[in-house]
Amino acid sequence: MDFRTTPQDDAFREDARAWLTSHIARQPPDWERELGQGGWIGIGWPDATYGNRTATLTQQVVWAEEYARAEAPTRTGHIGENLLAPTLIAHGTPEQKNRFLPPIARGEELWCQGYSEPGAGSDLAGIRTAARRDGDGAYRITGQKIWTSLAHEADWCFVLARTEEGSRRHHGLSFLLVPMDQPGRIEVRPIRQMTGTSEFNEVFFDGAEARAEHLVGGEGNGWQVAMSLLALERGVSTLAQQVGFARELERVIALAAAGGSVADPALREQLVRQWAELKVMRWNALRTLGGSGDAGAPSVAKLLWGGWHRRLGELAMAVRGAAGTVGPADWSEPSPYELDPLQHLFLFTRADTIYGGSDEIQRTIIAERVLGLPREVRVP
């Protein structure tokens, strides 16, 4: 892609920058609703029917970059906006679009993603969560999901479940929209990570209800719907992610310069390599932006940024040296340990090559779907 901005794009950038500056300074209590009132949620959707403004692909990149540069609040509505909404636009009924897209655009309903399970993470086709029709036609869901981001805050969850008893692998799966407010039927247990935070959760379904009209794409077609959703996890959002990566790298370089470790030729070479690889990632993201039909592009992107970010965390600790092992505050019982930003970066990025599809799974996808190598033999 030849990424060039027009005068209209430049004006859009100025508007976005001005809006972000003024509204971040106000520190609104509900940032998602603030974005929704400004029309900034769903700018990549095909039209403005649902209260959002529309933007060209270039302007979507501009907004993502300005959002990252402004260090705006972390989004809690991005799963609904960037994953579920495009999936509903592609596969949903008119009634489903009219019910769910406006609240997402207004920042009023938050979503989480019910895909991974114990024993079926990167190998998603192995899921066992079951959904069976009851006498009223609704689905009753039983099973467990894990690593469910923001489930403790979400109003709804899109769940991939097995609706055909006895089916295996990618057959017999369905894509269901499930309300999270079902006491006694849905339990959310936060997973405390080694960073001390709990963004991920376990979710247990015990007869949770999903209405028949909230089945997306037809019964048994869940695998196709789920795969089209996973293909959305690249593109514009990747470019915004890279702006954040660049800011983290700048902090590590500044620390190396201030502490004198940049004088180490081996460390200096690593810093230069990180900078160069980040540039390559940007151009690769621009090359694939807006494209379709490239089965390997999402996997290549995940391999690139996952490994890069993990190495950045390791490099941050190398720059810190022995001081990187000491926390910013003394131990206390309410807060057994605290981390400074670079320590948090190091620990959190240990998972970058695992979540969202491990490196091993991404390489298998590239080998089988792009290079045409023989598939791995599966033992029944």
Q: How many CB atoms lie within 10 A of CB 376?
A: 8
Nearest partner of 153 among 185, 111, 116, 187, judged by Cα: 111
Nearest partner of 76 among 34, 126, 124, judged by Cα: 34
Nearest partner of 97 among 130, 133, 52, 56, judged by Cα: 52
Nearest partner of 317 among 263, 244, 255, 264, judged by Cα: 255
Nearest partner of 303 among 245, 234, 371, 232, judged by Cα: 234
Measured between its terminal Cα atoms, the distance across the chain in Å is 44
* 78: its two tokens: 């991005």
Q: What are phi and psi of 98, to 5 degrees?
A: -70, -30
From the candidates 153, 202, 219, 233, which is the catalytic residue? 233
Beta bridge partners of 186: 205
* 143: its two tokens: 């099973």
Q: Give 280's contacts (C-beta < 8 A, 6+ positions apart).
A: 304
CA angle centred on 82, ends 80 and 86, rounded to 5° = 90
Contact 208, 188 (CB under 8 A): no
Q: Does the active-site annotation cover 233?
A: yes
From CA 217, how far away is CA 189, in angstroms rounded?
Answer: 30
Amino acid type, 350: R
- Give the residue numbers annotated as catalytic, written as ranges: 233
